Structure 1
Amino acid sequence: MVARADFEHSEGADGVEVRFTGRLTLARLGDLPARLDALGPIATLDLSAIDRIDTVGAWIVTRTAADHDARITGASADAQRLLDALASDKSEYRVHRDRRPAWVRMLEQIGTASVAVWNELLGIVGFFGAMIVAIFNQIRARRRLRWNAIVTRFQTVGVDALPIIGLMSFLIGIVIAQQGAVQLEQFGLEVFTINLVGRASIRELGLLMTAIMVAGRSGSAFAAQIGTMKLTEEVDAMRTIGVSPMEAIVLPRVAASTITMPLLGFYASLCAIAGGGLFCWVGLDIPPLTYIQRLREIIPMTDFWIMLIKAPVFGILIGVTGCYEGMQVRQNAEEVGQRTTSAVVAAIFLVIVLDAFFAVFFSSLGWN
């Protein structure tokens, strides 16, 4: 029968002297670690009587020696080799508490996050520059655009997104109308709910909510698709046969998101106006004809032009961000998920920041 791991102990001048017996292996350890911890200060660990030792047993011995500042004696050549290997790497297995003040750690985390965001922004700008260079190279070489790839992306980015964007915008229009009517009712000005719904839908919310939806739906798809292609070395294969990944993969996706964003934004605005009109008809007893006539009076043409100016910019931003994050995949499938999440977060953040910039810019031009 194979002897289980055990030990004998005796009191010495400097502390407890422990003499191990049996096999110090994972299968035979049992409760030996707990019984060792129950002893007092240990001065010596004697390994001369053990039959065998593995990495786990050597780790128990090394940990006990380090905790009690004990010396190890009687180790065979194989046992000593394991002990030396663990002793040389012991710093990697110890977790040292960070004793710095909390405010120092917080500032370090903020600084690290700020540097990461800045590097991400620089990477996106550099990737956009590389895409512009690829466009000029394609024009100079008189190569045809990959219309088949672009039309395919029209289907995924635009047509397939119509139901969810339409439903979302319709419900948002109802919510805006309901909340606006509740507040305006205090002053007897429920009729101005039409103004709120019309201008907010055309100028801001219709396009902004569409951009957020496209970023979460198509931007993430771009990152996941390209990231998977990087892992399966399809991108490297394209370069090997002389096909530019920027022209074959990136440009069709960015072109599709740029062209479809104005159409989706206009469609979302109409759905939001329809939702607001339904609430005004049912909740405020405003006839549809009156609602439409009022919209024609209060929505300036500048709101429509503002939407058409912002939409392609948002489309470019979403396409570039999604493709950039997909191209950054290097190691494993887990990184695909991380980069997909980064693509959505970065695209939504940049869209909102850019929308705020556009709001200030157009207000300075007097397009209110």
Structure 2
Amino acid sequence: MSPTPSPADAPATDDAFAPPRAQTQDVDGRTWAVASGCWTTLAMSTRPAWEALAKDLAALPPADDRAWDLRPIGQLDHIGAQLLWEHWRQAWPATIELSPQHQAVLDQVAKFTVATPDEPPKSLSDRLHALAHHGPRAMVVLRDFVGLIGQLALDLCTLARAPHRAPWRDFSGHLYQFGATALHITALVGLLIGVVLAYLISQQLRNYGAEAFVVNILGLSLIRELGPVLAAVLIAGRSGSAITAQIGVMRVTEELDAMRVMGIPHGFRLVMPRVLALAIAMPLISLWTSMAALAGGMLAADAALGISPSYFLSALPRAVPISNLWLALAKSAVFGVLIALIGCYFGMKVKPNTESLGRGTTSSVVTSITAVILVDALFAVLFKGIGFRG
């Protein structure tokens, strides 16, 4: 490179730990970027040295007319050269002064560094290809789930035609496991939710002198929405995962294959009893949870607002129409059917290994909770005009 006016030569250092620096100098009306120190991995390994160098480089934007003087650099390895090359945006500066050994290192880096082009936006063909790759998987899941629902409908017809053939012992066992054993945890959670809601609502109603409306807010929100949804979420995490794990273990231990060999239908003996049990237990658990939440809210309203339990109980039927209770029970039954079907579906899809069993159980819980929230939103939209006093 042709000699050009440059800053005064700075003495190069051989200290391997000399921190790298990059500063500006003005010479003959032109701004030079002067690099000094050791641009090596060892010198940049400490956090203070790296932060100082990053600050120096941030103050030196890679303008095209900026001149660089690299002669004060004591040592330059490929890491330091790569850092400079990337700072220059993989292009040589218009003016540069450097020693032959530094020139060789930078030439090597520039030769083998390939600029990564920006990813082009996806075209229509790319999007169609992605849909063709992932679409069949979604269609297979939808097909299998619809097939599970259809088989359940056929099994219910078989049950109505020949009730003596139904697995009533399995049904009663599932009803006990899904319903009776869940009463304590749902009651505790519902009670605490009611207390928390009552205290939060009381803080706002007291500001407007509307303490009596705590009955309306608690009754409508707990009976219509929070009670069924809260119970469904708890049952999805408790019973939905248990259904998937039970059927998944049967897949791992090849019990499902043995049932198929003996001609025992999976849907009639495994799916239908669980779906019926949750369809019956879920409305009762929802009602139980709402009652516990209302009891907690009633106690908290008495403590925070001075509303007596007798007034609370007498005002509750007037504040909350009975149609809200029927709506809550109906959608709780739908929640129970969904949770049982999703749990059975993921249990049937478990592969004969423990890793697939854990993954299927997790997917079952997440899918069940998501489905419960979506269906609850659908019920809220469809029945938005029911259960409110004009």
By the TM > 0.5 criterion, same fold? yes
Q: 1:203 to 1:126 in 2, by over 3 A?
A: same
Residue number among 115, 119, 122 corresponding to 1:101 in the alignment:
119
CA distance in 1, matches of 2:136, 2:199: 43
CA distance in 2, matches of 1:220, 1:266: 22
Residue number among 134, 139, 148 corresponding to 2:155 in the alignment:
134
The Cα shift of 1:139 comes to 3.6
Query: Which residue type is aligned with residue 379 of structure 2?
Result: F
Query: Which residue type is aligned with residue 128 of structure 1?
Result: I
Residue number among 284, 287, 296 corresponding to 1:275 in the alignment:
296
* Secondary structure in 2 matching 1:363: coil
Q: 1:231 to 1:195 in 2, by over 3 A?
A: same
Query: Which residue type is aligned with residue 286 of structure 1?
Result: I
| 8 Å CA contact 2:338, 2:368 repeated in 1 | yes
| 8 Å CA contact 1:131, 1:251 repeated in 2 | yes
Residue number among 145, 161, 176 corresponding to 2:182 in the alignment:
161
Q: 1:99 to 1:346 in 2, by over 3 A?
A: farther
Q: Which residue of 2 aligns with 1:172?
A: 193
Q: Describe the superposition over 1:63-109 as per-residue Cα deviations: whole angstroms up to 9, x where unpaired.
A: xxxxxxxxxxxxxxxxxxxxxxxxxxxxxxxxxxx9873976xx89x
Q: 1:239 to 1:279 in 2, by over 3 A?
A: same
Q: How does 1:224-303 map to 2 (within 5 A)?
A: 224-303=245-324
Q: Which runs of 5+ in 2 are unaligned?
A: 1-115
The Cα shift of 1:255 comes to 1.0
Q: How does 1:2-81 map to 2 (within 5 A)?
A: none
CA distance in 2, matches of 1:177, 1:114: 47
Q: Which residue of 2 aligns with 1:10?
A: none
Query: Which residue type is aligned with residue 157 of structure 2?
Result: F
Query: Which residue type is aligned with residue 331 of structure 2?
Result: K
| 8 Å CA contact 2:279, 2:337 repeated in 1 | yes
Q: Describe the superposition over 1:159-178 as per-residue Cα deviations: whole angstroms up to 9, x where unpaired.
A: 11011000000011111111
* Secondary structure in 1 matching 2:199: helix
CA distance in 2, matches of 1:129, 1:213: 27
CA distance in 1, matches of 2:178, 2:265: 23
The Cα shift of 1:141 comes to 5.1
Q: Which runs of 5+ in 1 are unaligned?
A: 1-97
Q: Which residue of 2 aligns with 1:215?
A: 236
The Cα shift of 1:330 comes to 1.9
What is the count of residue pairs matched by the alignment?
Answer: 270
Query: Which residue type is aligned with residue 332 of structure 2?
Result: A
CA distance in 2, matches of 1:341, 1:228: 14
Check if 1:148 corresponds to 2:166.
no
Check if 1:320 corresponds to 2:347.
no
* Secondary structure in 2 matching 1:253: helix
* Secondary structure in 1 matching 2:204: helix
CA distance in 1, matches of 2:290, 2:135: 35
Q: 1:142 to 1:275 in 2, by over 3 A?
A: closer
The TM-score normalised by the length of structure 2 is 0.64
Q: Which residue of 2 aligns with 1:9?
A: none
Query: Which residue type is aligned with residue 338 of structure 2?
Result: L
**Bigger Cα Rg:** 2
Q: 1:285 to 1:338 in 2, by over 3 A?
A: same
Q: How large is the RMSD of aligned CA atoms in angstroms?
A: 2.6
CA distance in 2, matches of 1:137, 1:228: 27
| 8 Å CA contact 2:321, 2:387 repeated in 1 | no
Once the two structures are overlaid, the 10-residue window that deviates more, 132-141 or 340-349, is 132-141
| 8 Å CA contact 2:251, 2:352 repeated in 1 | no
Q: 1:113 to 1:178 in 2, by over 3 A?
A: farther
| 8 Å CA contact 1:177, 1:196 repeated in 2 | no
Q: 1:256 to 1:191 in 2, by over 3 A?
A: same
CA distance in 2, matches of 1:184, 1:113: 51
Query: Which residue type is aligned with residue 101 of structure 1?
Result: E
